[in-house]
Structure 1
Amino acid sequence: MAGLGLAVIIATSVKAQPGKLALTDDFVDKNLKEAAAQYHTLIQRVPEGVFPRNYIKADDKLVTAKSNSWISGFYPGTLLYLYEYTRDAELLKEAENRLQLLEKEKNNKGTHDLGFMLYCSFGNALRLTGNPHYQDVLLTGAESLASRFNPTVGCIRSWDHNGDKWKFPVIIDNMMNLEFLNWASRVSGNPKYADISKTHANTTLKNHFRADNSSYHVIDYDPETGAVLHKHTHQGASHESAWARGQAWGLYGYILMFRDTQDKTYLKQARNIATFILDESSTPEDGIPYWDYSVSGPDVPRDASAAAITASALLELSGMVKGKESKRYLQAAEHILTSLSSAAYKAPIGTNGGFILEHSTGHFPGNSEIDVPLSYADYYYVEALLRYKHLLDQ
């Protein structure tokens, strides 16, 4: 596998702090084994031709999505992570079955989400199997993603919908696609993809963040001049609020940009975002945030997906810094993982429609996916467990 340039679990930058790990092999092994058992439940429920999105407990209804959904890569990606741990051939078989369905999205130039859709799925498949066909799929997909870049704006366009509201919307989530482009440059030798990635990250750094290092969700640009037209938080409580999952995307995105470029500007921004998240007083004691950092209360939904993304990101960030700062990030990730692995958030095997985690929030203002399991919450939870296992094994 040498030379593939894949770093979906980042063995090189997730570094152990000797003698400082609070969680045990038994803890990690138990939760990964139970996650794999739970996904065997999910496998039995997912119809052919679609991908699992969430589960409505009251109706015992599995909600699915087609391959062009932004969430389509998470189910095969999670299966592949679990296969990496268990070497269970059934998990690999199901993942590869869904990859066949997903492959056509490599030509989809109508979405910015190809990093989620293809890199989380085919990227892991390539890393684990070495199948050269998966590399071809990824390189085609990277070219499709690059087609959405506007050099005048300096960003990859996120959405094509709501043309009456935005001209060239760029969302903080888009930072998560840059890892895909960085990989494409390393493998193809074409610097174009990495240049787009860095330009997008720099433009986002300039315009997306407030003085306290929280971020807006959507920055709308004039595609003709590159001027900022609007600063919105579409999925948050208000335009000036800090939508919890958006903060997690930004944190993870600048960590991966530092990993890929070693540009300390990106590390500084990741540290700034981490400080905002960890200093946020609204977060409950268990470390699982409300869906937006500006809201709180016993009836306010949590977002386990934001917590899982944050935990995985903080584990990597802890290996990029030293001393008390590293310890703070590591301990925060351990605390989140402990909470997510408790009965308060992790469903018993055979329940929850086959999803691992409960209590995520997709789009609260849109009254969509509120307090439900979500495929990407599972993906980043399993990723965080695998990253922690790597620390234990060093």
Structure 2
Amino acid sequence: MKYKLALLLFTALAWTGCSEKPSQKKAPSILELSQVHYDSLYKTITPLKNSEKMMPRTTRNGKLVTVGIYDWTSGFFPASLWNLYGLTKDKKWKDRAVEYTEKLDSIQYWEGNHDVGFIMECTYGNALKYMDSPAYDSVVVQTARSLSARFRPNAGVIQSWEWSKKWDCPVIIDNMMNLELLFHATRITGDSTYYNIAVSHADKTIENHYREDNSSFHVVDYDTETGEIIKKNTHQGLSDDSAWARGQAWGLYGFTMSYRETGDPKYLEQAQKIADFIQNHPNLPEDKVPYWDYNAPASKDTPRDASAAAIAASALYELSTFADNKNAQTHQDFANLIMESLRSPAYFAKVGTNADFLLMHSVGSKPHDVEVDVPLNYADYYFLEALLRKKDIDGENKS
């Protein structure tokens, strides 16, 4: 394995001109290094491809952890392969992305989780950016139909969880991310049912999740009969009143996407308010990679969340394309600062380490002491998406 990694790294480092002197060789780019990582990760999991748990998610005690297709993160590995294809146009990445995307086929019928949007829009939805496929269109629409079964019309929201009696109808801020699937289904079919559900959920989220300072609660619990709010609390944040870092990034991304899909200015306004909250928060570290919760006591030992930073950077690049010139530059500059940190050795792993994930230092759920200071597959996905969006903005990806 060491020899294979060495060969891969040599390929990434190789200068295209054979006659160049060693001193003239270029250092490998982040994209080249990302491909080396994912070449190795792909080869590591290949023996597992027909097993129940074939998707890489994170590490535990430094060892790779894989999950099955019904895990909420199952789509992020194939989705990262789609991003690598978008960045390189190398057919190898497309072939691998198709291979692992199609392992998720049965999820289209699953009504038991709101995160089917994460799983299927990031895979089948991304695939449709690069290929025409009526079969993939059908998968997106059927998944949207399954997700719509979780819509609670009296409350106007899509229910997130059912696994605890702690809540009646919990809605987490993360659920904003699953709306993209519904918007996509309406574009495919012309059926406004999915669009209307997404808009209703987004409107209720603005109304009930956000505080005066534009930070978000994690969980809002609804009465499904009356639509009234039962309580507002957290599941993964520091406290009920704190600003869980990844939750703020989910909201920023979700409302930016909602503006893209609807053109409704209230979503753009909400996204810009959230961006301002994040950028101007007094507890944001100098390197712009947040602590796991914005209200967590700041110290050198407080865990950072690179996944929250990557999600925010990707959202900020897209937000910049909708904002006026002054705000656009502000959003791009902030995203660039975040990415500068994530690309640095402080967060971007050396080849042959980190179980071949790209980013170090993410946090899954600190209150539950689960996935603290580890790589996470969704951190990699949004990091690569941010690279892709940055490339598009710079006019380098117009093929």
> Is the structural similarity TM-score above 0.5?
yes
Amino acid at match of 2:55: F
| Cα distance in structure 1, aligned partners of 2:329 and 2:94 | 35
| Cα distance in structure 1, aligned partners of 2:174 and 2:259 | 17
Q: Secondary structure at the match of 2:57?
A: strand
Whether the 8 Å contact between 1:126 and 1:132 is mirrored in structure 2 is no
Unpaired runs of 5+ residues, structure 1, are 1-25
| 2:61 is the counterpart of 1:53 | no
Q: Secondary structure at the match of 1:369?
A: strand
Give 1:342's aligned residue. 344
What is the TM-score when the length of structure 1 is the normalising length?
0.90
Unpaired runs of 5+ residues, structure 2, are 1-25
Give 2:382's aligned residue. 380
Q: Secondary structure at the match of 1:371?
A: strand
Between Structure 1 and Structure 2, whose CA radius of gyration is higher? 2
| Cα distance in structure 2, aligned partners of 1:349 and 1:184 | 39
Whether the 8 Å contact between 1:33 and 1:86 is mirrored in structure 2 is no
Give 1:162's aligned residue. 164
Give 1:6's aligned residue. none
Whose relative contact order is higher, 1 or 2, with alpha carbons under 8 Å and at least 6 apart? 1
Give 1:95's aligned residue. 97
Deviations 1:234-258 (A, max 9, x none): 1000000000000000011111111
Whether the 8 Å contact between 1:45 and 1:62 is mirrored in structure 2 is no
Give 2:3's aligned residue. none
Give 1:33's aligned residue. 32
Q: Secondary structure at the match of 1:258?
A: helix
Give 2:216's aligned residue. 215
| Cα distance in structure 2, aligned partners of 1:226 and 1:119 | 28
Give 2:278's aligned residue. 277
| 2:262 is the counterpart of 1:254 | no
Q: Secondary structure at the match of 1:305?
A: helix
Q: Secondary structure at the match of 1:275?
A: helix
Amino acid at match of 2:170: P
Q: How does 1:66-145 map to 2 (within 5 A)?
A: 66-145=68-147
CA drift at 1:364: 0.4
| Cα distance in structure 2, aligned partners of 1:272 and 1:373 | 29
Going from structure 1 to structure 2, the CA distance change for 1:85 and 1:323 (only over 3 Å counts) comes to closer
Aligned residues, how many?
365
CA drift at 1:214: 0.2
| Cα distance in structure 2, aligned partners of 1:283 and 1:259 | 28
| 2:363 is the counterpart of 1:361 | yes
Cα RMSD of the aligned pairs, angstroms, is 1.4
Give 1:302's aligned residue. 304
Amino acid at match of 2:66: T
CA drift at 1:326: 1.8
CA drift at 1:90: 3.1
| Cα distance in structure 1, aligned partners of 2:109 and 2:249 | 28
| Cα distance in structure 1, aligned partners of 2:393 and 2:102 | 33
Deviations 1:314-355 (A, max 9, x none): 111112112332221111000000000000000112221110
Amino acid at match of 1:263: D
| Cα distance in structure 1, aligned partners of 2:269 and 2:203 | 13
| Cα distance in structure 2, aligned partners of 1:62 and 1:131 | 33
Deviations 1:250-277 (A, max 9, x none): 0111111111111111111111111111
CA drift at 1:93: 2.6
Amino acid at match of 2:327: E
| Cα distance in structure 2, aligned partners of 1:166 and 1:235 | 15
| Cα distance in structure 2, aligned partners of 1:87 and 1:257 | 28
Deviations 1:135-184 (A, max 9, x none): 11111101000110011010000011112x00000000000111110111
Give 1:150's aligned residue. 152
Give 2:4's aligned residue. none
Percent identity for Structure 1 against Structure 2: 47
What is the TM-score when the length of structure 2 is the normalising length?
0.89
Q: Secondary structure at the match of 1:63?
A: strand
